Amino acid sequence: MKFILALAGFLTLTQLVDAQEINFSRVQDMAVWYNQSLKTDKNISVKFNMRNVQYEGMTAYKSMSAMVDLPLVSAEGREAENTGYLSVSIGGASDKSNQGILNNTLGLAGISYAVPFADNETYIAFGIQGSYYQSRLNIGEGPSFGDQYDQYGPLDGMTSADRLAGGWSYHHININGGVSVFSNSEQNKWYLGASVMHINRPFTDDAKTSEFRLRQALSVQGGYRYITPENNDCAFYMTLNWQGKAYKHFFNISYFKAIPGINGGVGVGLGYRYDDAVIPAVEARYAKATIALGYDVNVSGINAAGFKRNGLELAVKLDF
C-alpha cells in the first residue's frame, strides 16, 4: 500500500520533472527565469518564492526559488535615461516532496544586455542562460521495473535502468536564450518577450536515449503596468509556455493602493495557472520591499478523480 501511495504521489508530481518549470503565480517575479533578457530595470533585485502544495491523503511537496539580478552599471548610470546596461543573474530552485519521493534542484546563471532604441526609456534586450538541473526519484520499497529479459521473461536480480526504479536520478545542463522589448516610462511600464529553452536538447537519462531527450520549449512573455500620479497602480502579466504538445500558461492581474505618507501600501491580485488553479493574493509594499501571499484554488480535472489539493504561496522581493 505504501508503494501504491508513493507511486500515485509520483504521478501527480510529474509536472515537476521538467527542468525550469517555475510554477509560481507571480509572473512578474518569474519573468527572468523564462527569459533572461527581461531584466527591465537597473535595480539590484533579490527575489524569493516558496510554494507549498498538499494532495490530501497522498503526498505534498514544497517548491522554492531565489534569484539575484545585478545590473553592471554605475550609480550615475542607474539614474541616466536611455542608456544601455549589462545585467547578470544568479538563481537556484528546488522541488522536494515530504515523503522523499522526488528531489529536484536547479542552479542558473545568465547575462543580458539592453540597448535603448526609442524615447520613453524604450529598450531592446538580448539574454542567454545556462542552468544545471538534477532530479532524483526514490519510490522506496516498491518493486523494481526490470528491463533485462530473456525468452522466458524478466531476469531476477538484474539491475534495472527503468525510469521508475527506486533511486533513479539524472542531471543535465540547459542552454536558454531570449529577446525582448520593454519601456520604463514614468507612468507606463510594459514588456514583450520571447525565448527558447533547452536549446541544446539535453538527455534526461544516463543512457542518452533519444526518447528521453528534452524538446525545445517556446515561451512568450508580456506585461503592462500603469502608475497613477498618486502611486497607485494596476497591472497585467502573462507567460505562455509550449513544449511539444504540452503547454503551461500563467496569467496575473493586480491592483495596488498607495497609503499617503508611508512610502508603501497594500494590493490585491488574482493569478491563473491555465486549466489548473486560480490564485487570489494579497501584497504589502514598503519602500523597496514587497511581500505577497497567495492561495491555490484548484480548478483542474484532478477534482474529478476525487483528489483534493491546496497550495500556499509566498513571495518576497527587495530592490536596491
**pLDDT computed for residue 244 by the predictor:** 79
Domain residue spans of the chain: 2-142+169-319
Angstrom distance (rounded) from CA 225 to CA 239: 15
Q: Which residues sit opposite 149 in a β-bridge?
A: 154
CB 51 within 8 A of CB 125: no
pLDDT tens-digit series, residues 170-190:
788 999 999 999 999 999 999
**Among 122-126, 147-151, 242-246, where is mean pLDDT lowest?**
147-151
**pLDDT computed for residue 293 by the predictor:** 97
Pick the CATH number of 2-142+169-319 from 3.40.50.10470, 2.40.160.40, 3.40.50.970, 3.90.1640.20: 2.40.160.40
pLDDT tens-digit series, residues 14-43:
444 444 567 899 999 999 999 999 999 999
pTM: 0.84
Q: CB count, 10 Å around CB of 303?
A: 11
pLDDT at 12 over 70: no
**pLDDT computed for residue 22 by the predictor:** 75
Percent of the chain with pLDDT over 70: 81
Q: What is the mean pLDDT of residues 160-170?
A: 55
Q: What is the mean pLDDT of the chain?
A: 84
Q: What is the mean pLDDT of residues 196-209?
A: 85
pLDDT at 13 over 50: no
Percent of the chain with pLDDT over 90: 58
33: which DSSP letter?
Answer: H
**Among 118-122, 233-237, 264-268, where is mean pLDDT lowest?**
118-122
Segment holding 291, helix H or strand E: strand 289-298
Angstrom distance (rounded) from CA 176 to CA 200: 8
**pLDDT computed for residue 269 by the predictor:** 97
Q: CB count, 10 Å around CB of 258?
A: 18
Give the residue, 287 or 209, on which the prediction is more confident: 287
